Amino acid sequence: MSASRFNPMALSGRRFLVTGAASGIGRAIAILISKLDARVIITDCNPSGLQETFQHLDGEGHAAREFDLKNISDISSWMESLIADGGGLNGFIHAAGLFSVMPARLLTPEKWREVLLINTESALALVKGFLGRTIYKGENGSIVFISSVMSLVGSPGAVAYSLSKGALNSMTRSLALELAPKHIRVNCVAPGFYYRKIRLAGLQHTILQALTNI
């Protein structure tokens, strides 16, 4: 088979930010899109995991940037700093998330607000940053949020997590309509809880479809 065969999912010349890239889904997606020739900026608040992911990226032009998404007010300025070295972004994948298992009677406002902050509010802050005049390249932009099956079904003790992911789903619908005139697609993927290889492969394919509009 020819190495030059057309690949409809190739991401050559495109640059993406991946949050939550120190492990799990974020790591898998960052590695996959690097193999498809994208330039990747990976971020997480876990520096050791971030560096481990970085070592597995294919190709050149990638960057690893430690950042805590709880710092909502700093996200826009931080995103501006990302483009200083490598230019604008074509999109981002928000895989960072905070899981919570706690009965409703034990939940405190501080706890559910922390979950919402990372899972939902930071997602909106990333969108606002991405729409900055110097950040979005203006070329078939793509935003992908990682939601959860728990946004669609119920489970005891998952009320805060389900709340945050359900809000993310609804936000996606409105953003998709609002950003379509700017040629930015907005999609939300809702995986299950366990990541056997076959499940992860299917998830990766779904995310690639969202990135490439196939």
Catalytic entry in 136, 161, 194, 195: 161
Amino acid at 210: A
**Centroid of chain to Cα 36:** 17
Question: Which amino acid is located at 211 in the chain?
Answer: L
Asked about 136 being catalytic, the answer comes back as no
Helix (H, G, I), strand (E, B) or coil at 30: helix
Contacts of range 12-15, beta carbons closer than 8 Å, 24 or more positions apart: 12/36, 12/37, 12/38, 13/37, 14/38, 14/39, 14/90, 14/91, 14/139, 15/39, 15/40, 15/41, 15/61, 15/86, 15/87, 15/88, 15/89, 15/90, 15/137
Residue 54's contacts (CB-CB under 8 Å, 6 or more residues apart) are 42, 62, 64
For tokens 């492990």, what's the residue? Answer: 23
Dist. CA 60–CA 48, nearest whole Å: 20
Catalytic sites, residue numbers: 161
